Chains A and B, each alone.
Chain A
Amino acid sequence: MANLFVDGKYGDRGIILGNEAIARGALEAGIGYASMYPGTPASEIIIALDKNKKNIKNIYTEFSLNEHISLHGAIGASWSGIRSLCAMKNVGLNVASEPAHFLAYTGVKAGLVLAIGSDPGAPSSSNEQDDRWYSLHTYMPIIEPSNIQEAKDFTKKAFDISEQFSFGIILMAPSRLCHNAGILHFGDCLDRDLISGNFKRDPENYLNLFNLAVKNHKKYLERSELLKQYAYNSELNMIIDAQISSTKNSRIGFISSGVIYSHLIEALNFINADYYKILKLGITFPLSEKLIGEFLDNLDEVVIVEEAEGFLEFQIKKIAFEIGYHGKIHGKNIFKAYGELTIDDVIKGVSGFLGKAAPEHFTAAVNKSEILSAQIPQRMGTFCVGCPHRGTIYSILKASGYSNTDSKDRDVIIAGDIGCYTLGLLPPYNAMDWLTCMNSGLSIGQAISIADKSKKIIALVGDSTFYHSGIPVLMNAIQNNSDILYIILDNSWTAMTGHQKTPSTKTDIDGTPVPHSVNLKDLLKSLGVSYIKTVDPNSVKRFSVIIKEALKEKGLKVIIAKRECILQEERRKKIKNLKSKLENSSEIIYELQKERCVKCNECFVELACPAIQSVKENGINNGKEYYFIDPVSCVKCGVCYEVCPNSAIRKVEFNLNPSIDLKSQMHFLNNK
């Protein structure tokens, strides 16, 4: 796939991810600059370009430290005449909202597209915000593709629109599109030899102060009006005429956009009602009053099918008022404003509104699943086997007197933050007291330390989140002498989004040293932190003693829990083993001896490593249950060995015989 992503030409077809289709559209449009702070579901947009950059001429890719920097970077490239793509997740625009609010004032030179991965249902986010509302004040035009082909085609087109009207363009892609994988018909790429930057001063647009800002404000409102005229004629918006006439049905219409439009089309087919008048909006801001007016004409009722709070409904109702439309406009009275709007929701909403029953196999399945779902235990994500964050969370809980098995609550407040360690808020750990946005942990925590002096506070932050916007928060805590323990979980990578480098990354996965990596301890020292301890989070006993000691001290304390992400460590090992072919090496195995195990649950529930599993003796339902370490998933981190109070877990070291086939020896050991 990677080759087709770079070398694909008109006529080629391939399976591609929605995010990659967006990146490919940008590539076809001849971008030279791509930046993002990683965030699910948008990450693969820039990953696709970054991992192929050696084979793409004149491209610069950057995983910036935060979205504010990332969007500014794209703006700088655009002003230098280089088409630029910036990507981020929905909440990223909160951080980048500052540059976004100036982009209309200054305008662009080369096309600039800001691709936003929204996350309805919040499967990987801390909120469900619909970033389209930002455009009511940033005035950034919004384009919404419905499928993989449009993701590519609309992105390409967005660069032209950006240049024509001098706006940065928002390309909205919900996770259902970002992570839709299917067929893409490729187009040709612009000649990449022509990409070269040349920044020219443009004080009239780029300087914004006093009346200069007012003048630019007026100018972009005028450009937005011109864009409405463009939207009226654009093929990105499409009216599908009704296929029935002179019945009541011919006076009902539907309006939709993006992935929800694809749900609508499928839903209408599903209930054999594929004959209504439909307006598909590819440009959802600004809306053309003329287009909406023409669509509403002759309709008695219109249904707006969209996710979240009703951004289209808000705009269309305003237009309807202005043009004196007297029909009924439905939207959020039918479709919920929270959670993901699924294909099921659209089928139910549309069939309910039209009074046309959904097929029997659908209603039967819906009814059945309601009965079934009551019996199915919830499954929640947890740390990977061997994840150093498990050691950190376990150590904190032990230091704070928490025990899940005898329902003892902890006596410290734990401030959560964004990253893999966020999973610590889930059972069995319940080790977080709030989770909102990036670096809310320490900043809210330090105020609580002032407001409620009776409690101890631990604030958590990962290395990537710390570098994102945590340094000012820490400096603020130092300057105000906050009484708080700050634990930086430094695993050297932005792990949750696919292991992008952080300033802490010292060695790349292939072993090459990373230039300009930051010595975190030195940084903390120079910021003025006097209490700094570094600890291996997998040494849980030592770690919890250090936490207990730190909690006794007054003022700001920082502990660096330093251990590389286990997934990266394992990858590194694999590469190394392939190189050295493992001659004369030894192998460690941890074994849980069932005759010594009293099922105290220290490893199984408190530590809750997924490699420790339970099985019923002889596979009988009523047989005695015992615990064992699954050799297939165990990565030999040894934490369970350390926590077992009864020495039931044994560490066995084998010296592998280099003269015998290694694979068969490992097979023997694993099945022991």
Chain B
Amino acid sequence: MKKFNIAITGLGGQGIITAGTILKNAVLDSAMQDVSGSERRGGAQREGYVEAFVKYIFYDSIAELQNPRKNMHSPMIASGDADVLISLEPLETLRAASYVNKNSVIIFNTNPHIPISVRMGKNKYPELDDILESLHGITENVFYYDFNKLSIENFGSIISCNVISLGVLFAKTNIPVSKNVIENILLKGSKAKDNLRAFDIGLNL
């Protein structure tokens, strides 16, 4: 059995759940594949922490697929067990850093969203350099961009940050899914043209 775990984190309204759903739709073609992963939903409330787990499972044999000791998977990702962490907010990258290990890839958005406690002067928002230092203490594979800027420049709003980050996922990791499959999923969805372009922007970063 081969597994590939992706943790996507950020804030309510950033399209975290949508990004997870796009990735999950990529493994519907074969019965030997499975995917699951729970979501933490922000609900209507903004600023809340949101996460989506994408756990790909590729079975080696029918016997394995039918083995109750092998075919049941937790909806959560254990500490250190994510192959990739995508985070659309720097502080949340740090918070979710417990999911990754020294071989994992971290992709994150450098655009900060200041929490209320920092606003009130009760806490300090860490500097980007300090965040990077902490992340580099875990893995060398850290890629970061200002996704907000890229999305606003190209699409006039921050709506495409999530899909741009998926492009980066396919450019910088060994995700065992073909990028053509994702492009086909985007093609069938709403705002196909914008999403394909956003994905392409991410691919070329």
Contact = CB atoms under 8 A, between A and B. Distances in A.
Interface of A: 13-15, 40-41, 123-124, 146-148, 175-177, 179-183, 238, 240, 259, 261-263, 265-270, 274, 280, 342-344, 347, 359, 361-366, 368-369, 372-373, 375-385, 404, 420, 423, 426-428, 495-499, 565, 567, 604-605, 608, 610, 613-614, 621, 632, 663, 666-667, 670
Of the candidates B49, B70, B76, the one having the most CB atoms from chain A within 10 angstroms of its own CB is: B76
A198 B68 CA distance: 43
Interface stretch (B92-100, B163-171, B174-182, B193-201): B92-100
Given A14-B28, A183-B28, A608 B69 contact: no
A183 B95 contact: no
Given A269-B69, A373-B95, A380 B21 contact: no
A181 B39 contact: yes
19 contacts: A14-B28, A179-B39, A180-B37, A180-B75, A183-B24, A261-B72, A266-B73, A274-B69, A280-B68, A361-B102, A365-B101, A378-B115, A379-B116, A380-B48, A423-B45, A498-B43, A567-B44, A614-B114, A663-B156
B45 A15 contact: no
A146 B72 contact: yes
Contact of B116 (A261, A268, A347, A427): A427
Contact of A382 (B28, B45, B68): B45
Given A180-B36, A182-B34, A377 B123 contact: yes
B127 interface: yes
Contacts of B79: 344, 362, 365-366, 369
Given A266-B73, A670-B156, A381 B47 contact: yes
Of the candidates A175, A181, A621, the one having the most CB atoms from chain B within 10 angstroms of its own CB is: A181
Contacts of A179: 38-41
A666 B156 CA distance: 9
Contact of B35 (A15, A269, A605, A621): A15
B45 A376 contact: no
Contacts of A182: 24, 34-37, 75
B77 interface: yes
Contacts of A495: 44
Contacts of B47: 379-382, 610
Contact of B36 (A181, A267, A373): A181
Contact of A343 (B20, B74, B124, B134): B74
Given A364-B80, A369-B98, A372-B134, 5 more contacts: A182-B75, A342-B76, A359-B80, A372-B97, A377-B115
B120 interface: yes
B99 to A, nearest CB: 7
Given A361-B101, A378-B115, A496-B45, A632 B158 contact: yes
A565 B24 CA distance: 32
A176 B36 contact: no
B88 to A, nearest CB: 13
Contact of B45 (A146, A365, A384): A384
A15 B21 contact: yes
Nearest to B46: A384
A604 B116 CA distance: 10
B28 A404 contact: no
Contacts of B74: 259, 262-263, 265-267, 343
B61 interface: no
A262 B97 CA distance: 23
A363 to B, nearest CB: 8
A667 B153 CA distance: 10
Given A365-B79, A365-B101, A496 B20 contact: no
Pairs A-B, 10 closest by C-beta atoms: A365-B80, A182-B36, A369-B98, A377-B123, A381-B48, A381-B45, A365-B79, A361-B101, A180-B75, A379-B115
B138 interface: yes
A268 B67 CA distance: 14
Contact of B97 (A240, A361, A368, A610): A368
Of the candidates A15, A124, A175, A379, the one having the most CB atoms from chain B within 10 angstroms of its own CB is: A379
Contacts of B95: 373, 376, 379
A499 B12 CA distance: 16
B125 interface: yes
A615 to B, nearest CB: 10
A266 B72 contact: yes
Of the candidates A179, A365, A420, A565, the one having the most CB atoms from chain B within 10 angstroms of its own CB is: A365
Contact of A176 (B38, B80, B138, B157): B38
A347 B103 CA distance: 21
Contacts of B34: 182-183
Contact of A381 (B27, B46, B113): B46
B91 interface: yes
A522 to B, nearest CB: 29
Contact of A362 (B41, B80, B115, B125): B80
Interface string B51-67: 01000000000000000
B48 A377 contact: no
Given A238-B68, A364-B101, A663-B156, A605 B119 contact: yes
B70 to A, nearest CB: 7
A473 to B, nearest CB: 25
Contacts of A270: 78, 81
Contacts of A632: 152, 157-158
A265 B73 CA distance: 7
Contact of B69 (A146, A240, A385, A420): A240
A373 to B, nearest CB: 7
Nearest to B29: A13
Given A372-B94, A420-B45, A426-B116, A343 B78 contact: yes
A380 B115 contact: yes
Of the candidates B21, B72, B101, the one having the most CB atoms from chain A within 10 angstroms of its own CB is: B72
A89 to B, nearest CB: 12
Nearest to A364: B80
Contacts of A148: 36
B35 A385 contact: no
B184 interface: no
A181 B20 contact: yes
Contacts of B11: 379
A123 B43 CA distance: 10
Given A368-B138, A377-B124, A347 B78 contact: yes
Interface string B101-138: 11100000000011111111011111100000010011
Nearest to A362: B80
B120 A404 contact: yes
Given A15-B28, A608-B119, A263 B76 contact: yes
Contacts of A265: 68-69, 72-74
B36 A183 contact: yes
A123 B40 contact: yes
Contacts of B42: 381
A162 to B, nearest CB: 26
Contacts of A362: 78-81
A141 B39 CA distance: 28
B204 interface: no
Contact of A427 (B27, B120, B126): B120
Contact of B27 (A183, A261, A368): A183
A124 B126 CA distance: 28
A180 B75 CA distance: 6
